[in-house]
Amino acid sequence: MKTRARACLFVTSLFVTACSQQDRVAVATPAVAPVADAFQREHAAWVRERAADLGKPDGWISLIGLHWIEPGTHSVGGGEENAIHLAIAPDRLGQVEQRADGLYFQPTEGVPITADGTPLHGELKLTPEGAGGGTKLEYDGGKGQITAIKRGQRLALRVRHADAPARLAFHGLDFFPADPDWRVQAHFVPHPAGRTLPIASVIGTVTDTPNPGYVTFEKKGREWRLEALGDPEKGLNLMFQDQTTGKLSYGVGRYLHTDPVAADGTVVVDFNRAYNPPCAYTDYATCPLPPPENRLAWQHGNGQRERLAVLAGEKKYALAKH
Output the tens digit of pLDDT for each of the chain's 322 residues.
444 444 333 333 333 333 333 333 333 444 446 777 999 999 999 999 999 999 999 999 999 999 999 999 999 999 999 999 999 999 999 999 999 999 999 999 999 999 999 999 999 999 999 877 899 999 999 999 999 999 988 999 999 999 999 999 999 999 999 999 999 999 999 999 999 999 999 999 999 999 999 999 999 999 999 999 999 999 999 999 999 999 999 999 999 999 999 999 999 999 999 999 999 999 999 999 999 999 998 766 666 678 999 999 999 998 765 4
Residue 277 lies in a domain: yes
Task: Out of 168, 195, 216, pick the residue that ends a domain.
Answer: 168
Give the length of the chain.
322
For the stretch 183-201, what's the b/e string if a residue is b when 16 or more beta carbons lie within 10 angstroms of its beta carbon? bbebbbeeeeeeeebebeb
Half-sphere exposure of 138 toward its Cβ, with a 13 Å CA cutoff?
Answer: 13
Q: What is the DSSP string of 208-276?
A: EEE--EEEEEEETTEEEEEEEEEETTTEEEEEE--TTBTTTB-TT-EEEE-PPPPTTSEEEEEGGG-B-
Show the DSSP H helices in the chain as ranges: 2-13, 21-54, 165-168
Task: Give Cα separations from 166 to 91, 170, 276, 284 (angstroms).
Answer: 22, 6, 16, 12
Regarding whether 283 and 205 lie in a shared domain, the answer is: yes
Identify whether the C-beta of residue 232 lies closer than 8 Å to the C-beta of residue 213.
Answer: yes
Q: Assign 3-class secondary structure to 172-194.
A: CCCECCCCHHHEEEEEEEECCCC
Task: Out of 168, 199, 221, pick the residue that ends a domain.
Answer: 168
Residue 213 lies in a domain: yes
Half-sphere exposure of 24 toward its Cβ, with a 13 Å CA cutoff?
Answer: 11
Calpha distance 52→50 (Å, rounded) = 5
Residue 191 lies in a domain: yes
Regarding whether 192 and 143 lie in a shared domain, the answer is: no
43 burial (CB, 10 Å; 0-12 / 13-18 / 19+) is buried
Identify whether the C-beta of residue 307 lies closer than 8 Å to the C-beta of residue 297.
Answer: yes
What is the residue type of 126?
L
Residue 51 lies in a domain: no
Task: Give Cα separations from 269 to 132, 180, 224, 244, 286 (angstroms).
Answer: 29, 11, 12, 18, 25
The Cβ of residue 5 has, within 10 Å, a number of other Cβ atoms equal to: 13
Regarding whether 19 and 110 lie in a shared domain, the answer is: no
Instruction: State pTM to two decimals.
Output: 0.84
Quote the pLDDT of residue 301.
61
Regarding whether 178 and 301 lie in a shared domain, the answer is: yes
Calpha distance 47→49 (Å, rounded) = 5
For the stretch 270-279, what's the b/e string if a residue is b when 16 or more beta carbons lie within 10 angstroms of its beta carbon? bbbbbbbbbb
Quote the domain boundaries for residue 102.
60-168
Calpha distance 216→292 (Å, rounded) = 16
SS3 170: coil
In the chain, the number of structural domains is 3
Calpha distance 173→48 (Å, rounded) = 9
Regarding whether 207 and 119 lie in a shared domain, the answer is: no
Quote the pLDDT of residue 302.
67
